[in-house]
Amino acid sequence: MTEQSREANAPAIEPASNRGVDPGPGRETPPGSAAASPEKPKAGRRRKLVIGGVGAAILAAVLAVGIPSILNALDTVSTDDAYVNGHVTFVAPRVRGQVARVLVDDNNRVHRGDLLVELDKEPYRTAVAIKQATVDTAQADLTLATATVRGVEAEARSQYWKLRLAMEDVANRIAELHARVATVDKSKAALKLAELEFERARQLVASDNIPRSEFDHRQATLVTARADLVQTLADVNQTRVSLGLKTLPLESPDLGKVPPDLDQNFSAVRQAQAALIKSAAQLGVLHTYNQTPSAMMEQFDKSNSGDIDRTLAQLAADAPAVKQAEARLEAAKRDLAQAELDLRYCDIVAEIDGVITRRNVNPGNNVQVGQALMAIRSLDEIWVDANFKETQLGDLRIGQPVDLNVDMYGSRQTFKGRIAGFTMGTGSTLALLPAQNATGNFVKVVQRLPVRIDLVGYDPEKDPLFIGTSVEPVVYIHEPATGPDAGKFLQARPPGRPAASVAGSVAGAPGSGK
How many Å apart are CA 259 and CA 373, to the nearest integer?
86
Task: Look at residue 481 and tell me if it is in a domain.
Answer: no
Q: What per-residue confidence (pLDDT) applies to 40?
A: 64
Whole-number Å distance between alpha carbons of 246 and 254: 11
| Per-residue pLDDT tens digits for 40-58 | 677 777 777 788 888 878 8
Paired residues of 59 in beta bridges:
none
Radius of gyration, CA atoms only, the chain: 60
Query: CB–CB of 450/427 below 8 Å?
Result: yes
Residue 295 included in any domain? yes
pLDDT tier at 510 (50, 70, 90 boundaries)?
very low
Partners of 307 in beta bridges = none
Residue 41 located in a structural domain: no
Q: How confident is the model at residue 499 (pLDDT cuts 50, 70, 90)?
A: low
Q: Is residue 502 part of a domain?
A: no
CB-based contacts of 138-142 (< 8 A; 24+ apart in sequence):
138/325, 138/328, 138/329, 138/331, 138/332, 138/333, 139/329, 141/325, 141/328, 141/329, 142/322, 142/325, 142/326, 142/328, 142/329
Single-letter residue type at 106: D
Question: Cβ neighbours of residue 174 under 8 Å, at least 6 residues apart?
Answer: 243, 258, 262, 263
How far is 265 from 248, CA to CA, in rounded Å? 21
Cα separation, 302 vs 187, whole angstroms: 46
C-alpha neighbours within 13 Å on the C-beta side of residue 53: 6
- pLDDT at residue 443, as a whole number: 72
What distance, in Å, lies between the first and last C-alpha atoms of the chain? 124
Distance between CA 245 and CA 267 in Å, rounded?
12
Would you say residue 68 lies in a domain? no
User: What does the DSSP 8-state code read for residue 470?
Assistant: B
DSSP SS3 for 415: strand
Higher confidence at residue 272 or residue 422?
422
- Whether this prediction's pTM lies above 0.85 is answered by no
Rounded Cα gap, residues 271 and 211, in angstroms: 62
- Judge whether residue 26 has pLDDT over 60: no
Q: Which residues pair with 384 in a beta bridge?
A: 84, 453
Please, how many CA atoms are within 13 Å of residue 222, restricted to the half-sphere of its CB? Answer: 16
Give the structural domain span for 164.
Answer: 124-320
State which amino acid sits at residue 243. L
The answer to whether residue 9 is domain-embedded is no
Return the higher-pLDDT residue of 234 and 307.
Answer: 234
Does residue 169 carry a pLDDT above 90? Answer: no
Q: How would you write 282-296 as a 3-class SS string?
A: HCCCCCCCCCCHHHH
> What's the full length of the chain, in residues?
514
In a domain, 272, yes or no: yes
Q: How many domains does the chain have?
A: 1
Calpha distance 79→77 (Å, rounded): 7
Of 134, 138, 129, give the one whose Cα is nearest residue 343. 129
Q: Which helix or strand (DSSP H or E) is residue 203 part of?
A: helix 122-206
Which of 170, 173, 174 is CA-nearest to residue 257? 174
Measure the CA–CA gap between 375 and 352, rounded to whole angstroms.
Answer: 11
Tell whether the model's pLDDT for residue 102 goes beyond 90.
Answer: yes
Q: Which long-range contacts (CB under 8 A, 24 or more apart) does 426-433 make?
A: 426/390, 427/387
Q: What is the dihedral of CA 473, 479, 482, 484, to 10 degrees?
A: 70
**Residue 338 to residue 393: CA distance in whole angstroms:** 53
pLDDT digits over 419-461, tens only?
999 988 887 777 767 666 666 666 778 889 999 999 999 998 8
Q: Tell whether 64 is covered by a domain.
A: no
Q: What is the DSSP letter of 65?
A: H
